[in-house]
Structure 1
Amino acid sequence: MTETQTAAPARPLRTPLTLTGITIAATLLAALLINWLAPGLEPMQQRFIAVLALAAFACIVVAATSRDLFTAGRVHAGLLIVPALVILAPFAAGIKDIGLQAGATLVLGYLATGVYEELWFRGLILKSLASWTPTRAALLSSALFGLTHLANIAFGANPAITAAQVVGATCFGMGLAALRLRGVSLWPLIILHALGDIALQLGDVSTAWRWTFMVGGDVTLLIFGFLILRTVPTESAKTTGNS
């Protein structure tokens, strides 16, 4: 076996791990800089500034290295029905009134989160796994997506809640990765992602119901992801960035 053949299997894994390391480092660096420059800001304000910077960073990287991700794929409305119903469920009881300024900040912050995380994980990282089978690619990209949420501790997040968020984000990511591998473009995924976060914050439900919607939604998207991936040809993963 030649040296090239020996090294080849490691290459597909090296890129997503490197991209994950970059996003974790960028998040931690943003937390340190914001805390140093504006130590008096509340954790939520710090996260808001950080995610705006990270969204801009992701857009720049994608524009410079994989511009096709901005246009690849289609809406595939039929595939979005189940995820949309799951994600919008917390709004069934109405919308909380938290004030115009707070509401606008929350919506903008979560929209930026959707842009950043979808471009990075369902965009760059999933594309880097094009040589893998769709299910393996979706699982790894989703697991890496979940693990990066550990960086939230740097913004003062509760470690136990963060651990639960890692699991939930992995399940949530599996559903979105499956949609991407079925040819859905990144823009509907960005909207779904943002709406999911916004609904959990602004849905007028009790804490118990909020956790029920969150856990139930994540489990549903995990199962949904596995189900729709059953109909994805292996070669589909190779055309994710070029469809």
Structure 2
Amino acid sequence: MLYLGSHDSMSYDLDINSSIIEPDILKHIGLRSVHKIILVLQEVNIIQQLDAGVRFLDLRIARKKDDSDPTRVYFYHGLYTVTDSVLKDINGWAVAHPTEILILALSHFENFDNSLHDGLISSIKKIFGRKLPQQKLTLKRCWDDKTNVMVTYGDRAEVQKHPELWSNITYYYGDTMDPEVLKNKVYEDLTNATTDCKLNLCSGFCLHLFYIPELSVQQAHKRRLNIVASDFVTQDNFVSTIIQLNTI
């Protein structure tokens, strides 16, 4: 089964007046120039992504160092987002679509400490409640128990403390703008993968639609679940392409 995902899911919401989080090289260029360089990788909001067919959300978390509220956290992609949370919106969508299984991948946690992890995880449990599965999954069990939101968490220590959280998903990243180099790099990484993660992610910063079927079909024969994430998920028939791969 192939899951459709969005890479840097919150990048449609970047705050052009925020400070730069990463990479470090951009911090020396200046804000005005950086805003022209940083790509908005998604053009539609989270609910529109879910409505389009996205079921995996790549949510990168950070705290603003100078925030007046020390407990508030944001999403980011180079810059902080304007919105500090969309989790309640996601929960509302999950309530309205109880047979759709969502995977929320929370990661990075820039400028975090233990108290921020505690606060964020507490919020996750409060918002999603009984929708968070704590045992081996089957689709029927998720439907029967109404546990249709899986949260993977990119901090191993926190996952070990909280049975509601799942281990981080391995992210295969091409790290190139050349389509041919990207295809070869992702192909090599996936062929040699030995990870024991519960889920596996096939993706790249600029994973071109032309190569998605080849990479995805190859992995579909090796893994019980794969996730193909992309930039601009509502463009170029990306959604229909991934859905059609599930019929092969």
TM-score, normalised relative to structure 1: 0.25
